[in-house]
Amino acid sequence: LDLKSEDLIPLKELGAGNGGTVSQVMHVTTKTVMAKKIIHIDVNPNVRKQIHRELQILHDCNSRYIVSFYGAFITDSDISMCMEFMDVGSLDGIYKKNGPVPLGILGKITLAVLEGLNYLYESHRIIHRDVKPSNILVNSKGQIKICDFGVSGQLINSIADTFVGTSNYMSPERIQGASYSVRSDVWSVGITLMELALGRFPFPPDGSQLTVLELLQHIVNEPAPTLPAGEFPEDFRDLVGKCLIKDVNTRPSPNELLKHPYVKASAEAQVDVEAWAKCIKR
Ligand code: ADP
Ligand code: MG
């Protein structure tokens, strides 16, 4: 599919994040609705071409747990990436409008995220680097998929040079400047699952407001947060606890977590994700 800017009709703005804006568009020649992400980064044309080249790996990332990629193109000083449009939206918007995510759905989210991360790592040696509720998307068929992972080393560098890259979902070792590993993504999975289960960001436990620096210090120096006992199943609390092991060398990988009893049970469970997705307020 040869994507050109002039073949895309804008339909709706979907949101903006660190360095990107996303809109819903219609590809006129194929009548395909897509999500188009425009990334504006000030880099020279050669770097832009390198990023464009590196993004082509996305064509090989095919999994039911990964948002599909249609193509990327360069216009002026922007890079545009076109991907599968997920009509129910991202989990941050979903829980903020609908409250904490129900337990059965949380199991299916856990499974989708771990399967997606495991696929990226085992099949392509890709580490996600930005696991958070806004990068987990849902559609009205009840599918749950992850997006916005770091495929292009040059794009990661260029964004890092342009923006101060701190995130509330960063693991203790990342805050302390260690290199990224797939286990750092697992920490972010733990924070994300807690946030979806509680209906609020889990730091600090008392819900007070922290500055960015205080939050980072808290993550490094304080014990990891835990889900309240009694309100959540023990196997789910145990899984989140394993994701939030502070020592990266002891923390499990996605592959190891796929064998966790909670994840196995979630894979077997009969849950009507489609029915849930269809009654989400947007
Ligand atoms: P962030 O992930 O930090 O919120 P992004 O620029 O990646 O910032 O995305 C902005 C918003 O656009 C997201 O919060 C999400 O709700 C929406 N979005 C991104 N990609 C898609 C997609 N493929 N389908 C539907 N909505 C999307
Ligand atoms: Mg995103």
Q: Which atom of ligand 1 is nearest to the CA of 18?
A: 3
AA letter at 44: N
What percent of the chain has a predicted confidence (pLDDT) above 90? 87
Catalytic hit among 76, 87, 92, 130: 130
Residue 37 is assigned to a ligand binding site? yes
- Is 226 a residue whose pLDDT tops 90? yes
C-alpha to C-alpha distances, 79 to 37, 92, 97, 150, nearest whole angstrom: 8, 25, 31, 15
**pLDDT recorded at residue 242:** 98
User: Between β-strands 20-27 and 32-40, what pairing exists: parallel, antiparallel or unpaired?
Assistant: antiparallel
Which among 92, 73, 84, 211 has a CA at the least distance from the CA of 140? 84
- Rounded to whole angstroms, how far apart are CA atoms 252 and 72? 34
Instruction: Evaluate: CB of 159 within 6 angstroms of ligand 1.
Output: no
Kindly give the distance from the C-alpha atom of residue 84 to the centroid of ligand 2, in angstroms, as a whole number.
Answer: 13
Tens-digit pLDDT profile for residues 149-174: 999 999 988 888 777 667 899 999 99
For 19-64, what is each residue's pLDDT tens digit?
789 999 999 999 999 999 999 888 899 999 999 999 999 999 999 9
Please give the C-alpha separations between residue 129 and each of 42, 165, 174, 180, in angstroms, as whole numbers.
Answer: 22, 11, 10, 8
Ligand 1 pocket residue status of 14, Cβ below 6 Å: yes
Task: Give the CA distances from residue 115 to residues 168, 197, 265, in Å, rounded to whole numbers and listed in that order.
Answer: 23, 19, 14
Side by side, the strands of the sheet bearing 144-146 are: 89-90, 136-138, 144-146
**42 assigned to active site:** no
Q: Where on the phi/psi map is residue 170: left (φ > 0), alpha (ψ -120 to 50), or beta? A: beta
Nearest to 81 by CA among 142, 17, 138: 17
Is the shortest distance between the CB of 196 and ligand 1 below 6 Å? no
- Our CA dihedral for 123, 125, 130, 132, rounded to 10 degrees, sits at 40
| DSSP bridge partners of 81 | 37, 72
Sign of the four-CA dihedral 44, 50, 52, 55? negative
Q: Are 21 and 37 in contact (CB under 8 A)?
A: yes
Q: Which two tokens stand for residue 209?
A: 């407001």
* Residue 106, pLDDT score: 98
Going by the DSSP 8-state scheme, the letter that residue 225 receives in this structure is P
Helix ranges (H only) for 176-233 are 182-198, 212-221
pLDDT in tens, 77-106: 899 999 999 999 999 999 999 999 999 999
Instruction: Looking at mean pLDDT, say which of 73-77, 202-206, 238-242 comes out highest.
Output: 238-242
**Which one of 11, 13, 14, 87 would you pick to mutate in the ligand 1 pocket, going by the greatest count of ligand atoms within 8 A of its CB?**
14
b/e per residue 145-181 (b: at least 16 CB within 10 A): bbbbbebbebbbebbeeeeeeebbbbbbbbeeeeeeb
Residue nearest to atom 15 of ligand 1 (CA): 90
Q: Residue 20: CB within 6 Å of ligand 1?
A: yes
Q: Write down the pLDDT at residue 273.
A: 98
